Amino acid sequence: MSASSLPAFDAFFSGPAREYLLRALDLAIEEDGEDLTSKALFTSERFTAVVVAKQQCVVAGLPMVPIVLERTATHIGAEHSWNLTMNAKDGDTLEYGDELFQLEGDALLLLTAERIILNFLCHLSGIATLTRRYVDELAGSGVTLLDTRKTLPGLRYPEKYATVVGGAQNHRKNLSEMIMLKDNHIDRAGGIIPATAMVRKAYCPCPPIEAECRTLDEVREAVEARVDRIMLDNMGPETIREALALIPDDIESELSGGVSLETLAELAATGPDFISVGRLTHSAPTADLSMRMRRTS
């Protein structure tokens, strides 16, 4: 994925998303408390730190580094300075030993912020790396990869940012972005057609409606209701093909449920518009990154 096609960090984290990000960073800083060890051992010393990749990975979260440093310095409660030189950018594929950035600054600041920086970078880079594997597997299929809301509480926006860095598109970021009729809604309303009617009566204009379908009969009902997108939930390839044949071109189709790298190509070959994958965020292994420090003064 080219850098020019990546979302601008500041644009992604604007409005409420920015506040959620800052809250997450501040909580991480507060959780760590006072660094008694570094405070006792270092006063005016300055360190140089280098963060390196210990595996091949797609990096995500680098613009968070200066924000963590700024907010950690405020938390420590003293004047602290640093110089940051980036050697990579979000979306880059790094090899073992590649440097992400170099950082020179007060020892207490660097040591206090070290684990917070690494925790976020390792987590988000792990998500971006796994996402890129799925995107590469889908190359040439014409199918768009989507993430889900299966994210860690408090980290919804950073995790969804990482999936976009990896090459996916965001499904809805919150419950207000789209109407999504899931099994509990459909069962309560007595079917997709009455559920759709209730939603359209409640909202004018009505947001886009997606209906989760478990059977071919529900697909037929969703088509009759003229929803905007039909999600085929946990269906096998043959059933998916039958379902897609029922869906007109002006209604989008999405596959979801139990999707893995091993099943992705077979599912994509059925021809949906989208495939959504929860494990991009809920099961991504962390990337292996490390920070090496040395005293400079």
Please give the Cα distance from 80 to 109 (Å, whole number): 7
HSE toward the beta carbon, residue 227, CA cutoff 13 A? 31
Q: Which residues are catalytic?
A: 115, 150, 182, 212, 233
Q: What is the pTM of this model?
A: 0.95
Which residue bears the tokens 């920086």? Answer: 117
Q: According to the model, what pLDDT value does residue 258 have?
A: 86
Q: What is the pLDDT of residue 7?
A: 66
Do residues 223 and 193 make contact, with C-beta atoms less than 8 angstroms apart?
no
**Residue 2 confidence (pLDDT):** 43
DSSP β-bridge partners for residue 253? 230
Q: How many CB atoms lie within 10 A of CB 135?
A: 18
Q: What is the mean pLDDT of each run of 10 residues along the chain (297 residues)?
A: 63 96 98 94 92 98 97 87 96 98 96 97 99 98 98 98 98 96 96 98 97 98 98 97 98 96 97 98 98 88
Indicate the DSSP class of residue 164.
Answer: H
Domains and CATH numbers, the chain: 3-136+284-295 (3.90.1170.20), 169-276 (3.20.20.70)
Task: Enumerate residues 6+ apart whose C-beta is below 8 A from 39.
Answer: 108
* Interatomic CA distance for residues 39 and 54, integer angstroms: 29
290 beta partners: 52
Distance in angstroms (rounded) separating the CA atoms of residues 55 and 287 = 7
Residue 6, pLDDT score: 63
d(CA 68, CA 62): 10
65 φ, ψ to 5°?
Answer: -60, -55
